[in-house]
Chains A and B, each alone.
Chain A
Amino acid sequence: MTLLEDLKVYRLAMEIGDLVFNITVKWDLFNKKSLGDQYLRAADSIALNIAEGYGRYHYKENKNFCWYARGSLFESKTANQKAFNRKLITEEEYNNLLNKLRECHLMLNSYIKSIGKPPPGKNDPMTND
């Protein structure tokens, strides 16, 4: 069985959370309290929800938490855009985070799709006959 730490999507989500922390921690108190706090909570929520789902008993619960993770990912994208609009992050930081969030989104989709599926070739109902 794959360990949580081996999941590429989880590792990328962790990296995104840390990146957002390193950016928002430098903001002034007002921006930290208004946008920064929510941006960091959303970004951290991606990996946290993946982990919570992973630890649940039933695959449907896992899937459910991954959908929450995807919701947090969308929230992070909006927060990233707001931070850029308010000139709190540079264009380079904005693009770097946006690219990582998009990459994470694709991976998360694939991960959600794979949850609860038997390994390829096992009990495969499809044949090309």
Chain B
Amino acid sequence: MKKTVISFLTAVLIIFIISSFFEKENADIKTKAGLGKKLFSEKILSKDSSVSCASCHIPKYAFADTVAFSIGIEGKLTTRNTPSVLNMKNRPYYFWDGRAASLEEQCLIPLQNPDEMGLPVDEAVKRLNESREYRILFQKIFNQDPNAKNLAAAFAAFEQTLETVDSKFDDWSNNLKKLTASEERGRELFVGDKAKCFDCHRMEDFTTDEFKNIGLYNGKDLNDAGLYNITKKETDLGKFKTPGLRNIAVTAPYMHNGMFKTMEEVVDYYNDPGKFVSNSINIDDALKKPLGLTDKEKKDIVAFLKTLTDKKYLRSKESLINGHLTLVYLMLSFYFGA
């Protein structure tokens, strides 16, 4: 009898501790962005409750994925590489083919995509309304029960907070840090006429927000026509949005199809696209002739690109290494201790 009472009291205590933890967590959610952040990791927004937005837009990898094609519900693969959702606030359109004109419009599309989260918006709203926790949160923030509009508004508000402006490059601009000799040479190449990077990656987030065909469309093995699928204009064949380059060092693999695993491969490709894809259709004029970069110059460009990484991602890389070292240390101590 005594044992049963103790077990019961322990269970009650555990439930109390867990619920007070969640209540405290929810009490901290006071803004649309805060709610959007919680929803970003919410798996009930997928058909089988197996994935959330954060499953593919992994926060510690600059909100991108680490594989060419992400895994959606029921193990299905996405058809394009998951782009980072950082620095999206000032973009004029979203997705590789620009099919969404606002963050509010963009954020509900992956929810419904059968290869991604596979859940109709009405069903998502229904699930949120069935959750007491979410009803309270939506009431607190929007004065309304969850609906498609405020769900999109919460996501968009969160995504608008995901701006990064604390990289070594920014420190260089603010006279706080010097670039190494290689980074400096890379910077000069980046903005110069030889490498031509700056022609397309030249605004605050290193993109001009234009659609370009960089030669990764041949209508055969590379048959994603990109913008053409939306506009049906021949001139748009194989065009994709120019992605920003901030945090590019942590968002591998690269390109709309994730075909390059490293930045070195990407620079190699741009140096001579014809060496990789000989029969590309509608490639941009700027890429028709090889750039003629030397191996040293390619390394310098990569060195400069690495300076665009926000410090929080440098830290998370370091902490990952430290975490691994700690694990090895613990395993060794356990082994020798035993």
* Distance between Cα atoms of A70 and B68 in the complex (Å): 36
Residue among A6, A109, A127, A128 making CB contact with B175, cutoff 8 Å = A6
Residue among B33, B60, B158, B188 making CB contact with A128, cutoff 8 Å = B60
Instruction: Report which residue of A106, A107, A112, A127 has the largest number of chain B beta carbons within 10 angstroms of its beta carbon.
Output: A106
Closest CB in chain A relative to B270 CB, distance in Å: 19
Residue among B158, B161, B174, B192 making CB contact with A8, cutoff 8 Å = B174
| Chain B, 64-78, CB within 8 A of any chain A CB | none
Q: Using C-beta atoms within 8 Å of the partner chain, give the interface range for chain B.
A: 20 to 34
Contact with A along B303-331 (1 / 0, CB 8 A): 00000000110001000000000000000
Q: Main secondary structure on chain A at its contact with chain B?
A: helix
Instruction: Report which residue of A105, A110, A113, A114 has the largest number of chain B beta carbons within 10 angstroms of its beta carbon.
Output: A113
Closest CB in chain A relative to B55 CB, distance in Å: 14
A99 touches B174 (CB 8 A): no
Instruction: Report which residue of A102, A124, A129 has the largest number of chain B beta carbons within 10 angstroms of its beta carbon.
Output: A102
Give every chain A residue within 8 A of B202 (Cβ-Cβ). 105, 109
Contact with A along B144-181 (1 / 0, CB 8 A): 00000000000000100111011001101111000000
Interface size (A, Cβ < 8 Å)? 24
* Distance between Cα atoms of A105 and B204 in the complex (Å): 10
* Distance between Cα atoms of A129 and B169 in the complex (Å): 26
Give every chain A residue within 8 A of B34 (Cβ-Cβ). 125
B60 touches A106 (CB 8 A): no
Give every chain B residue within 8 A of A110 (Cβ-Cβ). 165, 169-170, 172-174, 204
A8 touches B173 (CB 8 A): yes
Give the nearest-CB partner of B37 in chain A.
Answer: A125
Can you list 9 contacts pairing A with B, beta carbon distance less than 8 Å? A6-B175, A7-B174, A9-B173, A106-B173, A110-B174, A120-B311, A125-B161, A128-B316, A129-B59
Beyond known contacts A105-B202, A113-B205: 16 more, CB 8 A cutoff: A6-B175, A8-B175, A102-B192, A105-B191, A106-B173, A107-B173, A109-B173, A109-B202, A109-B203, A111-B174, A113-B165, A117-B163, A125-B33, A125-B162, A126-B312, A128-B316
